Amino acid sequence: MLALTFSGRQQISLSRVPTPKVVHPGDVVVEVTLAGICGSDLHPFHEREKGIAKGCITGHEFVGHVVSVGRQAKLFGWVPEEELGLPEEQRCGLQGAQAEYVRVPLADSTLVKLPAEVSDEEAILLGDIL
């Protein structure tokens, strides 16, 4: 899949990386339909924040659709094609969401199911609020 990856000071690359899979029972894999750029995404880009490894997929605000579900990610009854949003943080050692797909650990406590009447364009603006 294609993803935006951190390459160093003021360097972001479009990279081909492996498509994520469910690794842990609480994971959900999401096909990203929209990804935002938050001001906090720019901190490592401008070297105002350290600790992000080169090659890390950037971004923590996104909207997408569930494509696969771990056996314990059941609190909200996640099913494929369900629309959702998530304020994810790659600075916690996770890959970000500026990619075609993202693996979401602990999905039951981090994903937000979106009502059908909320468009992706509206939902992307809610990432850090939820």
Asked whether the predicted pLDDT for residue 49 surpasses 90, the reply is no
Query: What is the reported pTM?
Result: 0.86
Predicted local distance difference test score (pLDDT) of residue 1: 98
Predicted local distance difference test score (pLDDT) of residue 124: 87
pLDDT digit string, tens, across residues 16-39: 999 999 999 999 999 999 998 887
Predicted local distance difference test score (pLDDT) of residue 90: 44
Domain that holds residue 70: 2-126
Return the CATH number at 122. Answer: 3.90.180.10
Residue 35 and residue 61 in contact, taking contact as beta carbons nearer than 8 Å: yes
pLDDT band at 128 (very low <50, low <70, confident <90, very high): low
HEC letters along the chain: CEEEEEEECCEEEEEECCCCCCCCCCCEEEEEEEECCCHHHHHHHCCCCCCCCCCCECCCEEEEEEEEECCCCCCCCCCCCCEEEEECCHHHCCCCCCECEEEECCHHHHCEECCCCCCHHHHHHHCCCC
pLDDT digit string, tens, across residues 58-116: 888 899 989 999 999 876 676 665 566 555 444 467 898 999 999 999 888 888 888 88
Predicted local distance difference test score (pLDDT) of residue 81: 59
Q: What total number of domains does the chain contain?
A: 1
Task: Round the CA-based radius of gyration of the chain to a whole number and report it.
Answer: 14
Residue 102 and residue 110 in contact, taking contact as beta carbons nearer than 8 Å: no
